[in-house]
Amino acid sequence: MKNISLRWITLIALISWTLVSSETVMSTESYLREFDVTRLQNVLTPGFELTDIPSVHYATFGYKLLGKAIPKTSEICNFLVKNSGNETSLENIHYIVSTWETLGSCPPLQTAYLLKKINTAIDKETSTIPDLYYALSAYVQLSQPLPDSKATKIANMVQAALKKDDCLQNLGYAFHIAALLGPAGKFALSKIEDAVIQADEINGRYLQFEGGLSITSLVVNGIAQLSNSQNTPPPVKAEQIVKLTNYLISRRSVQTLKGVVKLLSALKMLAYNEFSQPVCTTLAEGGNVVSTKQPFVSIRVCDILGNPLVNIPTVIANSVTRVDDNTAVLTKQNFKSSDNDKTLFTMNLMEIKPQRGFYKINVSAGEVSNTLTVKVLSEVKVDYLEIGTGDADQTTQPKLLKVAYPNKLAHKIEADSQQKLVMRFMLRDAANNKPMRVHQAFVRLSAIVKPGEDKQPREVIFVAEPDASNVYKFDMPVGSDAQTFGFQSGDYHLNLIIGDALISNPFQWEVAVVGLKFPEPTGTDAVTISKLEGLKKKSNIYAPKSEIKHMFREPEKRPPVFVSNLFTGLCLAPLLLLLILWAKLDVNIAKFPFSLSAVLFHVGLGSIFVLFGVFWLKLNMFVTLRYLLGLGVVTFLAGSKLLSHIAHNQKVTR
């Protein structure tokens, strides 16, 4: 009994594993198109102006990733050789050596100087992980041998640094370092899951690492290079790779040199890695619209760089489902491959004569699948159209005349304020002749302005509404809608405008010329109309107005000089009177104490009076208070000392 149970468990496990392994993987949403490549190339071009080392590196490496010819190679070589003897930054040394290796035809660099800087960083116990990567990368690119002992030492330094700080940036650089160390870098394989688990998922479609494109590219490149160097598949699910690729492709509008290189290097690494290469299954240009004139659904199956797959897969439409009612209209239909384009596959969807609307197509291409949405268009035709006039109070039936599309009614229709303009029409689907409704059914009335007439052109648009039997109706009481037309009587073109997202032949049809006679405006309507007409007749109503300049108040007229001098003399008269009285009283200053406090007090007091005079002439209050604070403190202290001295002398004399 126990053996039977074990067999059943084993069988169930095998079936489950088979189902999981045979499950298809979602494809990426898009790929790098030709216009994307052109735009990215334009972003890289300014880097060849040789302004700084990083820009030169990114431009050169980016052109190589795009497969474009690198310009100014001799100037770049001279620039690299010139800077290789005085550069102290490890990052710039890495850029110099990497660019030099990318070109492959430059004169030798000043290797002795560079290796001295590189070895110092490698031997330094406190070197950061980014510095170790820059140093080791330049060391390897200079074709220097890496002994096992040195590789082991670097591996130990990286592991020690990760114990202190295992942030995403350090993990990304650690993967790159481990890829260069050979067998000694095997330790980093166990860190891949720690990094991938930190990825943030967005809308169930994208995966990115905190830090955006730079960190995501760094980690993705590092994982891929490490897995290739150790010949070990990375512990990353195919679904995660697809979501990471979706995020990278969504950043193809990047505008910086560094961003372009980060994007291209990651996409190229994913496209050509040994273990899991994302496949794109998407609608080709213009393939999302199907009609009788263009009946084919076009699918493009390629890698994420837009190149054909090595093994051309069989592309199958597993199901075609109408979105409105979730009804399957087709299953298991093969796409046909194009003879001229190995990435293009087509299927004639109109063979089954689908109804107009949106359809979801589940497409599988080998081991990948995707669900794509297309819309099926149909042609609309006018079944009939009748137009005429009737009484506004509906006492009699309106008199209607039929007009065949796309003809115009031969004579003009006249309607006055006691009548209403009436139009009835029906639309049908040309594919099945069934009545149909559209999103946009407009009736436009535009005034006919003859040359020389002093009349402003006017246009009014109404919406035609369908009834339960899908007959569109348009009723316009002329008298009631007079204000809408500004009481502007005259002839109007009547146009029918039909539009919809799901019809292939939207149209604008001039049905007739209508003569409308509105009543004369009265009361508030007349006032409003006269104001509007007055504004319209002003030719400069929308012209720029003259500049508004601020006018300062003109200063008042000053009095004559004699009056000013007389007023000044009167103000100084009390001071003159004080001096005269002092002279008559025979003021005695013999007992003036010539001490420091006495001199400072009187000088300070005099300075305060002078400050008030200057304040009256030119200073503002804030500046005056700042000076007064200093003078006041000195005067107060000196005065206090002076009064104490006088009081002491009086006690002694008594």
SS (H, E, C) 578-595: HHHHHHHHCCCCCCCCCC
What would the pLDDT profile of 547-570 be if each residue is shown by its tens digit? 888 877 777 888 888 888 888 888
What would the pLDDT profile of 486-504 be if each residue is shown by its tens digit? 888 889 999 999 999 999 9
Q: What is the mean pLDDT of the chain?
A: 86
Write the DSSP assignment of 404-448 as a string of letters: -TT---SS-EEE-TTEEEEEEEEEEETTT--B---SEEEEEEEE-
Region 78-103: what's the mean pLDDT? Answer: 89
In this prediction, residue 249 has a pLDDT band, given cuts at 50, 70 and 90, of very high
Neighbours of 311 (CB within 10 A): 6
pLDDT of residue 70: 92
Instruction: Return all residues near 646 (Cβ < 8 A) that are at least 6 apart.
Output: 593
Q: Is the pLDDT of residue 309 over 60?
A: yes
Q: Is the pLDDT of residue 124 over 90?
A: no
Nearest to 199 by CA among 245, 151, 240, 149: 240
Region 512-541: what's the mean pLDDT? Answer: 69
Region 80-104: what's the mean pLDDT? Answer: 89
Place of tokens 């109706």: 473
Instruction: Return all residues near 537 (Cβ < 8 A) that are at least 6 apart.
Output: none
pLDDT of residue 528: 63
SS3 state at 38: helix
- CB–CB of 434/380 below 8 Å? no
pLDDT of residue 539: 54
Instruction: Return all residues near 157 (Cβ < 8 A) that are at least 6 apart.
Output: 125, 127, 132
pLDDT of residue 83: 87
- CB–CB of 362/26 below 8 Å? no
Which comes out higher in pLDDT, residue 523 or 601?
A: 601
pLDDT of residue 215: 93
Region 299-324: what's the mean pLDDT? Answer: 91
Neighbours of 636 (CB within 10 A): 12
Q: Is the pLDDT of residue 173 over 80?
A: yes
Which comes out higher in pLDDT, residue 525 or 342?
A: 342
In this prediction, residue 22 has a pLDDT band, given cuts at 50, 70 and 90, of very low
pLDDT of residue 6: 37
Q: Which two tokens stand for residue 343?
A: 């990435």
pLDDT of residue 204: 86
Rounded CA separation 115/454 (Å): 87
Q: What is the dihedral of CA 123, 124, 126, 127, to 10 degrees?
A: -70
Minimum mean pLDDT range among 61-65, 272-276, 610-614: 272-276
Instruction: Return all residues near 518 (Cβ < 8 A) that are at least 6 apart.
Output: 417, 478, 479, 482, 485, 487, 488, 489
pLDDT of residue 148: 87
Q: Is the pLDDT of residue 613 over 90?
A: no
What would the pLDDT profile of 139-164 be if each residue is shown by its tens digit? 899 888 888 888 898 999 999 999 98
What would the pLDDT profile of 463-478 be if each residue is shown by its tens digit? 999 999 999 999 999 8
SS3 state at 364: strand
In this prediction, residue 541 has a pLDDT band, given cuts at 50, 70 and 90, of low
Rounded CA separation 490/447 (Å): 7
Rounded CA separation 436/457 (Å): 34
pLDDT of residue 13: 36
pLDDT of residue 585: 77
Instruction: Return all residues near 358 (Cβ < 8 A) that are at least 6 apart.
Output: 322, 323, 324, 373, 374, 375, 376
pLDDT of residue 65: 93
In percent, how much of the chain has pLDDT > 70? 91
Q: Counting Cβ atoms within 10 Å, is residue 135 exposed (0-12), middle (13-18) or buried (19+)?
A: buried
Minimum mean pLDDT range among 283-292, 306-315, 581-590: 581-590
pLDDT of residue 260: 94
From residue 223, alpha-carbon distances to 64, 151, 184, 193, 217 in Å are 22, 19, 16, 10, 10
Q: Which two tokens stand for residue 82?
A: 């010139």
Which comes out higher in pLDDT, residue 60 or 531?
A: 60
In this prediction, residue 646 has a pLDDT band, given cuts at 50, 70 and 90, of confident
- Strands 344-348 and 357-365 turn out to be unpaired
In this prediction, residue 23 has a pLDDT band, given cuts at 50, 70 and 90, of very low
Place of tokens 């291409």: 365
Region 257-279: what's the mean pLDDT? Answer: 91
Rounded CA separation 482/618 (Å): 70
pLDDT of residue 406: 92
User: Whole-prediction pTM value?
Assistant: 0.69
pLDDT of residue 641: 87
In this prediction, residue 1 has a pLDDT band, given cuts at 50, 70 and 90, of very low
Q: Is the pLDDT of residue 459 over 80?
A: yes
pLDDT of residue 537: 56
SS3 state at 348: strand
Rounded CA separation 595/603 (Å): 12
The one-character DSSP state at 225 is H
